[in-house]
Structure 1
């Protein structure tokens, strides 16, 4: 091939730019790309690249997030993953870093069809999550302080919610879960490293989330055989259960789950009181 016929990156059509840019790990990279050239700026602003917005792992301030929402969010935006960085900057522990009620209202206005909302490392004090659009189907909290005040009215606001995840949220307990009310469409509940989840929380889950298909309770030491009995009786539609670090569970509890949950296809248990702490897996996720 001669030098005159050699193609450069600038010779690529816009649709290939879009294909390449969609693999960037964070939406903030799209902002940086806009500084390269006017053409890259135009392509990086395409609404197709802002359908799923991920502003992690680097923290963002609420003022900056508000500007991004105004500039790039549209009715096509269906997912937002944002990081506040509260654990890295201890001086901000008393207040939220990346969110405000004004920002949430703005998100609801610009993206009324938002389906996924994920927040990491932030304090949700004085935040009203019910300001998010009612179209939200998945809520995820990682390393967050979640005062009960921020969950007021969520039971009526998110009727389509089908997935709820809490990861390393230290104050999460039965009172928080009760505020979600009876979520008839909730199919997936995952709690990782939420050590205050106890039998009271299990009763709330059993009473309010009767259509659960996936339940993960990892790092909840206060649970045991009695909770297995409640789960087996009240949550008959479960197909997947993951259990780790329960102190009071024995093979009796495991047997209760096996015998009574007829739809169960995947069971994963890793507890010191069972199989010498080695992980026990039955079934396969492939069929779930």
Structure 2
């Protein structure tokens, strides 16, 4: 299964981002903590260039904490400031401004020496669809100011949003890239909801999900679907059919596939990380 998705408004957004960079002090790169590599746009380095950057590993509450710790250390070794967070959590969100000030410490010190009056940090929020940008903006504001949804591509335009006296954010649509060089990246993005479901074969995706969970989180899989040690190691299509029957779907494996994918995204199968640190570093 090969997955590609590059709506027209994303090409336009990419151009607009390049034009607006000169107006911001820092880029907030929002990344799905369950996909620390796959949910990063490989074009972003070319677009952002030398602009200071803070990487926000969002949805860390859904990710495997051991994997998140490994990825956080790796990003820091690459020279990035990184914050594992949950955009729905007050404590997490309140750490963003201090982290941004840390990244901008030299600039802020220079401004102070020159007698430049302190002003709000101006940041641009960038990330692929469905990593939680609108959720973050709404939480910062304490009210709904940006559209949110479980479907990717909700935010279609750019808008400046002010949060108190310390932060101004330029929201942008989620930007994917024209082609996934690695088909596994497309599958992982699809599993977490970064690609519209109507572009996917959900039964194939559910089988990929089963293979992943059986390999890395077998106990979580057994517990959720009441599987025995013997049942979990049968062929994956048969395992999907068995789960369909256990859930009362009889032979409706398409309905079972949709159910499994939704439950994975909602964290009902426990915390997980699809981008395995050990596989990338090998």
User: TM-score band, normalised by the shorter chain?
Assistant: under 0.3
Larger relative contact order (Cα-Cα within 8 Å, sequence gap ≥ 6): 2
Question: More helix by proportion, 1 or 2?
Answer: 2
- Alignment TM-score, normalising by the size of structure 2: 0.27
| TM-score of the superposed pair, with normalisation by structure 1 | 0.26
| Structure with the higher strand share, 1 or 2 | 1
- Greater C-alpha radius of gyration: 1
